[in-house]
Structure 1
Amino acid sequence: MSVSLSAAQPTRADESPGATLGLGYAHTIDAGHSLTQVWLRDALGRAMDFASLAAISDAFFPRLFLRRARFVPVGTVSMTIYFHAQAEQLAKVGGGFILGQAQGQHFQNGFFDQSAQLWSQTGEMLVTTHQTVYYKE
């Protein structure tokens, strides 16, 4: 899977619904059902490390909320994070933005799953993650 890095890099954080300014949510594109692409970063001035990548891997709004007109209780059942980056790649990212992409695959019987990828500005994959989530009807 490849991702387009053509979206302009944001210059400031945007306090979007469900977003935390400290994470730097800035540019969101909802393309179809539950696909989201967003530029994000850790708090200003903090260099990217593996702890940051793990936290940002769980920063995506539950995909279910993009598929329905109302909020319902949700909770993570399982989450797996695969680190593809080396320390040298993270050093190149520094405190800059990375591109996150998330999409839900299946929504049924009170459960859904979603996958996400995090990419450097130069197009290197940093993380892939998969999450299974419970939701209450």
Structure 2
Amino acid sequence: GWRARYELRRAGGGLPSAWAHTENGLPPETASLDQMWVRDAEARPLDFPALAASCDIFYPRVWQRRSAPTPAGTVSMTVYFHADAALLAAVGGDFVLAQARGQEYRGGFFDQTAQLWSRDGTMLATTHQLVYYKS
């Protein structure tokens, strides 16, 4: 699958260890938090297409929130680049820290924000998605 194209190292959050099919009961600010170090599985320098693809590396936030593999799909996604070519060249083939969090889940939709940083803490990109999920 597509995940084989990436090397992922969990830094925080993650999928439930078992599908409980219930709300996880965590506060909204941490209920869907996911953090991981990510880079292409085949070593290559980071470029803008790879950075954009890494912005969409996350599984649907509703899976963590509901503790269930709920059908979901992106309605819209916007990526904002905060890096220039020189900054991407400095990252090279190193890992970037990717973090995502869902804000609101209602009426079969949720929104998600994500940020990607270089190892030295420099913001590389931010993204926002609106996602449909089966209620």
Does the pair score TM above 0.5? yes
2:12 counterpart (6, 19, 29): 29
Q: What is the letter of the counterpart of residue 76 of structure 1?
A: T
Distance in 1 between residues matched to 2:2 and 2:67, nearest whole Å: 18
Q: What is the letter of the counterpart of residue 84 of structure 1?
A: H
What do the CA deviations read for 1:27-62 (whole angstroms, capped 9, x no partner)?
231183111111001123211000000111111111
Distance in 2 between residues matched to 1:99 and 1:19, nearest whole Å: 19
Distance in 2 between residues matched to 1:64 and 1:115, nearest whole Å: 13
TM-score between the two structures when normalised by the length of structure 1: 0.82
> In structure 1, what is the equivalent of residue 68 of structure 2?
70
What do the CA deviations read for 1:54-75 (whole angstroms, capped 9, x no partner)?
1111111111000112222111
The percentage of counterpart residues that share the same residue type is 53
Distance in 2 between residues matched to 1:88 and 1:42, nearest whole Å: 19
Distance in 2 between residues matched to 1:36 and 1:69, nearest whole Å: 14
Q: What is the letter of the counterpart of residue 99 of structure 1?
A: L
Aligned residue pairs total 120
> In structure 1, what is the equivalent of residue 96 of structure 2?
98
Aligned to 2:69, the other structure's residue is in SS state coil
**Any gaps of 5 or more consecutive residues in structure 1?**
1-17
**Any gaps of 5 or more consecutive residues in structure 2?**
15-29
Structure 1 runs (4+) greater than 2 angstroms displaced: none
Tell me which protein shows more helix as a share of its residues: 2
2:54 counterpart (50, 56, 59): 56
Q: What is the letter of the counterpart of residue 125 of structure 1?
A: M
Cα RMSD, aligned residues only: 1.6
Aligned to 2:8, the other structure's residue is in SS state coil
> In structure 1, what is the equivalent of residue 27 of structure 2?
none
Tell me which protein shows more strand as a share of its residues: 2
